[in-house]
Structure 1
Amino acid sequence: MNRPLSSSLWLLLATIVLVAALVPFDGAISQRAQALPPAIVAFNERITDFGTFAWMIYGSGSIVIIAYILHRVSRSDGFSSKTKTAWRLALYFLVTIGSASALVHLLKFVIGRARPELFLEYGAYSLTPFAHNGLFESFPSGHSTAVGSFFGAFAMLAPRLRILFALGALTIGITRVVVGAHYPSDVAAGLLLGLWVALMTAFIFAQKNWLFRLDEQGWPRPKSSPDAPVTT
């Protein structure tokens, strides 16, 4: 089995196990999270929208991406190298975030899980596929998928800072439970979905020798990384 397919299957299995482990506790955790002190809920409401796809493409998130691209370009030698680095980085972020957005919205529409605000009426496990209603698009969490792809992309490009990126994604994911927009399993599925897209996009780029190369174990590493030897 080739490495991309193997990695994809392992991540899918991890997602299924984690989501399945959280599902029995979704209702209880959601209700307790929303009952936290008003100051905590208010704080989570202020930061939760940092996890939208729009924020990443059109808002401050795009500034972060542009700043990172400019930093990488400044380290490249020659106009040709700078140009290739710039457009390949832009393409990597665009493909990762764009693909994650398309995939999560399709899954939301097909699955149709009722959001926590409908808990008293529908419970935590009600599914209404193809409802064309945002109240029935809880699984997976779109915000969590967005931050999973956003921070996942940075984690692939700067592996030494992966813990910080993981904490950033997890923080935004937790806010979705606190503000009552999603259940914990929605968040877990979204975060891992975004990460999976970032990883698979990195594999594709590594096959083209763009930004990444495969290490001795067959994993994509940034080409500038000293611990990422080229495979033969």
Structure 2
Amino acid sequence: MLRRFTRDVITGQGFTHSCDVRQVMIVALLKKSAFFSNLSQKAAPMVNIFTGPDLKRWSPITYLFILIFAPAIFFVTAMWIDAPVTNALTNWPPQIINFFELLTRLGESDWILIPTLLFWGVAPVSNLLPLGYRLQWRLRTFGAGCGFVFAAVALPGLVSALIKRGLGRARPVHMDELGTLHFSPQWGDWTFQSFPSGHTTTAFALATAIYLLTGRWGALAYIGAVLIALSRIVDGVHYFSDVVAGTFLGVGGALWVYHQYRKRKWGFDGHKKGHRLRWAVPYKI
């Protein structure tokens, strides 16, 4: 009977014209969740290409193609797309701009790195406390997960900080006088640290780590990452190409960390198929 009710809810059958709003909302949510679940399952093989055994099949020609193709895309985007997108998004209504100014704070890494590092260091000593076996196991598991999140966010964030200071791309505040392709390394001047977007890198690295740890519903974190990336353009502190580069750096860095964990069996089971692996405790019990 429960199976029949679920089928009727998903298909919308069995409802009359006088059905209340709650039933309509349930139908809409279930249909959207079914679509989202299928989309997440289709993304699993793609993740495995960058983390699993398929990664070893990449040839040097593939890496060479990426090294040539990526800069070409950047220059095309910087020359013809960055300026129009910046002018369009920074002229949005003030109410929308104020919303994105509040949202962009979530792209900073301190509120992520400090708690995860703290709990990662404290969780292993839980066996010294007079706690039950089940609670100790869960604390150590959660601590190991915090360690993975810390590494997945900190590594691409560090790379982003070094690249943006080394390249010294001028931010949109200098667009009228210097253009979109001016580079002048200024380690002490934040207005010359535009490429790539650090907030975007952090947001997508965190979203990827959450997705790898929690499965299909964790992919909802990418919605927040997209909004944070958009906020950097709306606030006029990054170009569209900065955000795109930060997206690839955040996702790629988190996947690389995950690949290292998976290869060394640090917390994840070493299964060869699929990317959603059971989280295991890396400490002896």
Q: TM-score interval w.r.t. the shorter chain?
A: 0.7 to 0.9
For residues 187-232 of structure 1, the C-alpha deviation after alignment (integer angstroms, 9 at most, x for no partner) is: 1111221111111111111122233235444x6432259xxxxxxx
* Cα 1:83/1:176, change in 2 over 3 Å: same
Question: 1:21, 1:55 → 2: CA distance?
Answer: 35
Contact 2:108 2:202 in 1 (8 A): yes
Contact 1:214 1:220 in 2 (8 A): no
1:46-125 correspondence to structure 2 within 5 Å: 46-58=102-114, 62=115, 78=134, 81-125=137-181
Opposite residue 140 of structure 1, the aligned amino acid is P
Q: Distance in 2 between matches of 1:179 and 1:95?
A: 28
Counterpart of 1:221 in structure 2 is 276
Matched, 1:153 2:209: yes
Identify unmatched segments of 5+ residues in structure 2. Answer: 1-51, 124-132, 281-285
What is the rounded CA distance, in whole Å, between the counterparts of 1:9 and 1:87 in structure 2?
35
**CA deviation profile, 1:89-112 (whole Å, cap 9, x unmatched):** 121112112112211100001111
CA RMSD of aligned residues (A): 3.4
1:183 to 236, 239, 247: 239
Paired-residue identity, %: 26
TM-score, length-scaled by structure 1: 0.78
Amino acid across the alignment from 1:138: S
Write out aligned runs for 1:6-85 (5 A): 6=58, 9=63, 19=74, 22-23=77-78, 24-58=80-114, 62=115, 78=134, 81-85=137-141
Q: C-alpha distance in 2, partners of 1:118/1:181? A: 10
CA displacement, residues 69-118 of structure 1 (integer Å, 9 cap, x when unaligned): x9xxxxxx746643541332121112112112211100001111100011
Contact 2:89 2:234 in 1 (8 A): yes
Matched, 1:212 2:268: yes
Aligned counterpart, 1:74? none
Which structure has the greater CA radius of gyration? 2
TM-score (norm 2): 0.64
Structure-to-structure mapping, 1:124-163, within 5 angstroms: 124-163=180-219
Q: Deviations over 1:14-34 (max 9, x none)?
A: 866764563320011001110
Q: CA deviation at 1:168?
A: 1.3
Q: Is the 8 A contact 2:85 2:240 kept in 1?
A: yes
In the alignment, the residues of structure 2 paired with residue 54 and residue 159 of structure 1 have an alpha-carbon distance, to the nearest angstrom, of: 25
